[in-house]
Amino acid sequence: MKSGASEAQVEVVARTIQELGFQSHVMPGSVRTAIGITGNQSPIDPSRFENLPGVAEVIRVSKPYKLITLDLRPEKTIVRVGDAAIGGDELAIIAGPCAIESRAQAFAIAEAVRRSGARFFRGGAYKPRTSPYAFQGLGEEGLRILADIREAYGLKIVTEALDEPGVDLVERYGDMIQIGARNMQNFSLLRRAGKAKLPVLLKRGLSATLDEWLLAAEYIMAEGNYQIVLCERGIRTFAQHTRNTLDLAAIPAVRRISHLPVIIDPSHGTGKNFMVTPLARAGVAVGADGLIIEVHDQPEHALSDGAQALTLDQYEQMVDEVRSIYEVIAPVSV
Ligand code: PEP
Ligand code: MN
């Protein structure tokens, strides 16, 4: 739409799209509003829209994904989570344990996360474990602890939904729905998250190509939820010195295609405590919008992912370091 287009003009275009039997996606930007069209099986005649009042141009997006692209929305999306944001001009830090294990554990860690100035607290109540005999999370009790942490510290809660009923629960107790690597192509879960009122943190699958990952985000957007943050968390390669291979090149690769914010998970991306801080620094240096970090007050007793958890002291030090790097990198990264 033209920069001066009125809300009524946007409404007329959106209604026209719907009357043709397609879905309209209204995405306001700081200068212009873009309106995406999905649901068409073949090209649509641009003349149907070109002459409607307020329309600036009609662009055909000839890529497999439509709504996530810079073609549709040339300016970066800022995902807002209450009064916090990811993709704005502050480095977003999401930190906390892999799993919520007890009220005492979660509060001890949350206290340090709050002290560091981070705005987001992570912690799984439902854990996707490789073995059915491993700790599966505290379930709804874990979510209640997370909600109490939000209340006590004002931190925004990021927690994983393993399945569709899990999305209902995160909507009730949390602020942001995490979709894990193993679920990146769980299409019914993606569709449900697309109908959710909360923003989504979409992790890259263990063996997902860039296109598969972006198309997973497109699934969520196609249902009307445009608040998505992508997370590179490492992929499977032949390397044996790390749990996964953190694909730092994914950051500039995503940037070139999509307006969505993208963050780095150096915890799952390396699996090793001593590698987390170096790769966190690197992630910020390549232009990530934020970091998601596993922290534990007693990593040696952690019920999951203890080997990759930072201690509270290491975490604090890491935050200082990445903030200084971000100050240098933010003005030059695109
Ligand atoms: C997690 O964040 O604890 C997690 C299970 O991540 P991923 O889905 O990336 O393995
Ligand atoms: Mn974990």
CB 285 within 8 A of CB 327: no
Mean pLDDT score of the chain: 96
| Ligand 1, pocket residues at CB < 6 Å | 98, 124, 128, 180-182, 203, 233, 268
Q: Can you tell me the distance from the alpha carbon of 9 to that of 2, in angstroms, rounded to the nearest whole number?
A: 10
Query: What is the pLDDT confidence band of residue 331, given thresholds at 50, 70 and 90?
Result: confident
Residue 45: C-alpha distances to residues 17, 49, 234 (Å): 12, 8, 42
Q: What is the mean pLDDT of residues 197-219?
A: 98
Q: What is the pLDDT of residue 330?
A: 85
Q: What is the pLDDT of residue 192?
A: 98
Q: What is the pLDDT of residue 83?
A: 96
Give yes or no for residue 319 having a pLDDT over 80. yes
Proximal ligand: closest to the CA of 296: 2
Q: Can you tell me the distance from the alpha carbon of 203 to that of 182, in angstroms, rounded to the nearest whole number?
A: 9
Q: What is the mean pLDDT of residues 259-267?
A: 98
Give yes or no for residue 333 having a pLDDT over 80. no
Q: What is the mean pLDDT of residues 175-203?
A: 98
pTM of full prediction above 0.75: yes
Q: Can you tell me the distance from the alpha carbon of 56 to that of 49, in angstroms, rounded to the nearest whole number?
A: 10
Residue to mutate (ligand 1; options 121, 233, 246; most atoms within 8 A of CB) = 233
Q: What is the pLDDT of residue 162?
A: 98
Tens-digit pLDDT profile for residues 54-85: 999 999 988 899 999 999 999 999 999 999 99
Percent pLDDT > 90 in the chain is 95
Give yes or no for residue 200 having a pLDDT over 70. yes
Tens-digit pLDDT profile for residues 108-152: 999 999 999 999 999 999 999 999 999 999 999 999 999 999 999
Give the position, in ligand 1's atom list, of the atom nearest the Cα of 233. Answer: 9
Give yes or no for residue 242 having a pLDDT over 70. yes
- List the single range of 21-30, 168-177, 309-318 with lowest mean pLDDT: 21-30
Q: Whose CA is nearest to atom 10 of ligand 1?
A: 181
Give yes or no for residue 323 having a pLDDT over 90. yes
- List the single range of 61-70, 89-98, 236-245, 263-272 with lowest mean pLDDT: 61-70
Neighbours of 334 (CB within 10 A): 7
Q: Can you tell me the distance from the alpha carbon of 14 to that of 24, in angstroms, rounded to the nearest whole number?
A: 5
Q: Can you tell me the distance from the alpha carbon of 149 to that of 189, in angstroms, rounded to the nearest whole number?
A: 26
Task: Please give, one letter per residue, the 3-state secondary structure of the chain.
Answer: CCCCCCHHHHHHHHHHHHHCCCEEEEEECCCCEEEEEECCCCCCCCHHHHCCCCCCCCCCCCCCCCCCECCCCCCCCCEEECCEEECCCCCEEEEECCECCCHHHHHHHHHHHHHCCCCEEECECCCCCCCCCCCCCCCHHHHHHHHHHHHHHCCEEEEECCCHHHHHHHHHHCCEEEECHHHCCCHHHHHHHHCCCCCEEEECCCCCCHHHHHHHHHHHHHCCCCCEEEEECCECCCCCCCCCECCCCHHHHHHHHECCCEEECHHHHHCCHHHHHHHHHHHHHCCCCEEEEEECCCHHHCCCCHHHCECHHHHHHHHHHHHHHHHHHCCCCC
Proximal ligand: closest to the CA of 160: 1
Q: What is the pLDDT of residue 30?
A: 86
329-333 long-range contacts, CB within 8 A, separation 24+: 329/284, 329/285, 329/287, 330/89, 330/91, 333/287
Q: Can you tell me the distance from the alpha carbon of 318 to that of 310, in angstroms, rounded to the nearest whole number?
A: 9
Q: Whose CA is nearest to atom 9 of ligand 1?
A: 181
Q: What is the pLDDT of residue 334?
A: 54
Gap from CA of 333 to ligand 2 centroid (Å): 29
User: Nearest-CA neighbor of 257 among 24, 82, 106, 65?
Assistant: 65
Task: Please give, one letter per residue, the 3-state secondary structure of 91-141.
Answer: CEEEEECCECCCHHHHHHHHHHHHHCCCCEEECECCCCCCCCCCCCCCCHH
CB 201 within 8 A of CB 227: no
Proximal ligand: closest to the CA of 182: 1
Query: What is the pLDDT confidence band of residue 212, given thresholds at 50, 70 and 90?
Result: very high
